[in-house]
Structure 1
Amino acid sequence: MKTPQAVKALAALAQGTRLAIYRMLVQQGPQGLSAGTIAERLDLPAATLSFHLKELANAGMVEARQDGRFVFYSANYEQMNGLLGYLTENCCQGAGCTTERVPTQQVKRRRA
């Protein structure tokens, strides 16, 4: 993944409703959910959901498929993994990362 794609994906996910939609779709798996089910679970009006799904689709984070009269949405796992790879590429300067938190020194701030 290149920087412009990552910026677009992160921008799409940097909104609470879209992040909730995306997380729901990731949890659901490749079969996805119908637009109606997503709207019902998140208590969203159809127009609002449509707007957010369009933003996620434009960023490549979700895919849509028609099944009869229903449209099903699913997370684009390849794009998700690409974004994660982009974010963690060269992590810790190639020294191998640890899940333990590195202690940091607290900086005392002076009040003006």
Structure 2
Amino acid sequence: MKKMISFLLSLLSVLLLTETSAHAMSRPECYREARKWGNREARLCIQDHTDENGHISTDTAEACVDFGDQVAEIGRKNCESYFKALRKLRAKSAARRASGGQSS
């Protein structure tokens, strides 16, 4: 189960990074998307583990909420990586322009 959760978190991490890279996103938008991903994954987890009578154990519900929190945290970390890479790219572009367009 832990390996599966780890795999899912890694997959979601890649998907969120791809999603945020598709268009320029502001920091608040990126964090909002990360939070939405976490909430959605928690909700889906709860739906998947609710029985036909609409019941779910407290432990399972808490685990789903924790999973959603982990997804949101990974999303926030991906936001930071995205903006760090964007800053580096902009700095390289500015340096190239300042040096007359020659690449090193």
Fold shared, TM-score > 0.5 on shorter chain: no
Q: Going by fraction, where is helix more abundant, 1 or 2?
A: 2
Scaled by the length of structure 2, what TM-score is found? 0.31
Higher RCO, 1 vs 2 (CA within 8 Å, ≥6 residues apart): 2
Q: Going by fraction, where is strand more abundant, 1 or 2?
A: 1
Scaled by the length of structure 1, what TM-score is found? 0.30
